[in-house]
Structure 1
Amino acid sequence: MSTLIVFLPPRDPAVPSQEWLLPDMPFLLLDKSGRKERAGRAGLAFLPRAATTVLIVAARDVLMLSASLPPLKGQRLKQALPNVVEDQMIQDPQTCHIALDPQPLADGSRVLAVIDRGWFRFLVEAFAAAGHRNLRAVPVTRCLPAAQSAPGGLAESGAIGGQDEPPVAAALAGGEAGAAAASQPESPLLSPASLVVAVLGTVRETAQAILADAAAGAASVVPEAPSPSSAPLASADPRVEVAIARGSLGEGLAVPASALEATLSALAGDTPLDVFELTDVPGAEPALAPHAALPMFGRASSDARIVLPAGAKPLPFEALARAAIASRLDLCQFEFESRPWRLDRATVRRLRVPIGLGVAALLVAVIGANVQWIVMARERDALNAQMTELLLNAFPKTTVVLDAPAQMKSQLDRLRLASGQLSPDDFLSLAARLARSLGPLPVNGIAALDYHDRRLDLTFKPQVSADPDFTKRLAQSGLAGELDSGTGKWAIKNRNPGQ
């Protein structure tokens, strides 16, 4: 099955929920064998369709925590999760969506991914409305390479498109470090003694952009009296989007470009630090992307004011996307669990043509069945009328006609009996009169009794023989019996001369 990986922008806290919009987003489309089929940048409505859509969620939008969970499952666990993380959060946990990492930590605790429920619902519903039914959401901190400075630290690995892929560090780094990372056994958690930082690009300051536009408008109206705040806004230090992975945990920051190196040094302390720079983002070339200040949509070092720490390594966008596929953590849990055939408005819109054809076929079948029933009912009524007319013509004394075929059969049987002919029911009459004519002969002495050609063929058992008065008793019952000396069978029939 094909897979679409989309890199989401972070939520801007300055924008209210009713004004949330998704800009053009970089994406990577893989075919069912895991080969790159297409890459680029597009708006939500123009993203290619795939069997599975993987969303890479910005680090600032997801907080990764570790906590010990009560032994609950399902809805009860979902209701208990806000109370578990309440002491570690400033935001009200009731307004957050909390997902569980399927892989427990060594001490038995679990990693929890916390994201604003309103923002996550907006993302899921927006992609579902655009036709992306099978969704997965992975924090970008779970897509970072392994810390090469900490031995034994590994990133998540797994199957991509049905093929086994090495860890991200092995895909990125060459030489001994990459070979060592690829040779290690699979482990979904980074080493807790390592610190991995990825510089993802500059942040678009929505609030500052609005103030700058207002200041520019005021300056155009009164050019001789420029706003004193316009200079600071124009020369504002850009902020850099940073994703930080602390072992299996992670968070995101927006750091001023001038303070990037100092901030990373303060965060790392004595911990080994590996810095990566997101590169090869589709559509991030200056000729194709004049608005290079969009968050996570270009190289962080494209701005001369952004100084990366020494030893920063490149992180290709394709490697980040493939790591998202291999990640086991999925934010789409509980009420956001992917239901590809959920019956909602989008599904109804996609299925309205097949549903319309099915309803039309059902209507045609119902109408056709009713028309055929009406035609056959009229034929039945005409046939019943003909049979009734035939019965009344043959037997004029019939006053009531309830079942013309049965009444005709009954009348014909009576005529046969009146004329001395046997009817199809004469076997019962012959057998009853034969039973009365047996007399002292035992009933179980009969070996065979056949009825054909309007007569009974009676065969007695070898130890039973008919007495001399047997023929007389048959005559008294209106029967005539003849013995075939060759076969020993009695031929019994009606004594009526007409037979």
Structure 2
Amino acid sequence: MRTLIIQLPPGLPSPSLAYTHAQVMAEPGTRPLALQWAAAALLPAADRQTETVALVPAAALSWHRVDLPAGLHKQAQRVQAALQGLLEERLLDDPEHMHLALQTNWANTPSPWVAVCDRAWLGAHLQALEQAGLPVHRIVPELAPGTPGSPVQLTALGDADTGWLWVSHPERGVWGQPWPALRQAGLAAHERLGLSEPEQATATLQAEPGAVAVASELLGSGVRLMPPAQHWLAALAGDWDLAQFELRANARSRQLKNWQRTASHLWHSPAWRPARWGFWLLLAAQLVGLNAWAWKTRADWQAQQNSWAQVLRETFPQTSLVVDAPLQMAQQVERLRQGSGQLGAGDLETMLAALGQALPPGLAAPRQWAYQTGQMRLQDFQPDVAQQQALQQRLSALGYAWRAQGDGWLMSAQTEAKP
């Protein structure tokens, strides 16, 4: 499965506005992304095996922690209104004009994070992409706060003149400073960023090629070179999805893409290779076991058929061809019985005797009946429910079936052999 990741530019959509984008294979590994730029109408087409992801730039988002009322997760229709009320004092703009998105598993997280961006700007870009034939399946932030207990992450993007240094803090969110502002005299870089010296000392630093020199100059050694836009892969691997509330129009499609992405990860990821080998070995063992069981079952069945055929030939030597030994044995026995004049279960006298034996007390015998070999149809016979059940049970014990047929009843021998 492929992923087309598109970074949303800061301005509103226009025919000349270019979108930075890259295509990511199922397992990108450490290969650098091949960045390209194109207007919305010229972006690569996406097929069913491609997931389209919109990347919201770090500069377009603000981050806030909120304390939600208890039980709010049980009232989904009130979540957005509750967030707007909680953030009303913190936002510079009207909360109704902003798009709000909660972190995953927010119901079980104390003080969850809320990502905030301009609703009109985000909606305009999503509409432009959809008109270009690229409905967005997921919306992810370029940078997000770290997990609790993780070190501060510093990410240097761009170049020394126009780039920014971004801070991803597990407790304070995401913020940044342009390089020219960090060069101002009077304060150290970590002080300009609002970091303490211990946080600066334990922070992880990564920088794009154009910002490595200035990052090393202002932050010291320990800066790790990062290919351009390589941090997009971390954004893809995260569990954030800003497509919430009014942007959930494609929720079903996004869920399908999430399943496809998970299946693709399980199928291609090296970390899951032992599990895949184990699955195939288990499947192979099951197939071998089923084939062995089927072979043994067939062998047992064939042995039983052969034993029946042998009994048939020993009992009736005149039998030249054995097709169905049990049936042929029953037919031969029936011929012997008929030849000796003995009554069988399907003979009229035997059936009448069984019916008389099975009739419940107080139920008169039928006056009208019609007989053919192995079957007797009774007319003008109307037992009540209890009598009918008792009659059916007794006849079944004697080897006969009893059921209603039209306006009468049919009695038949259950194991009647046909000559």
Give TM-score, length-normalised by structure 2. 0.50
Q: Which has the higher contact order (CA 8 A, sep 6+)?
A: 1
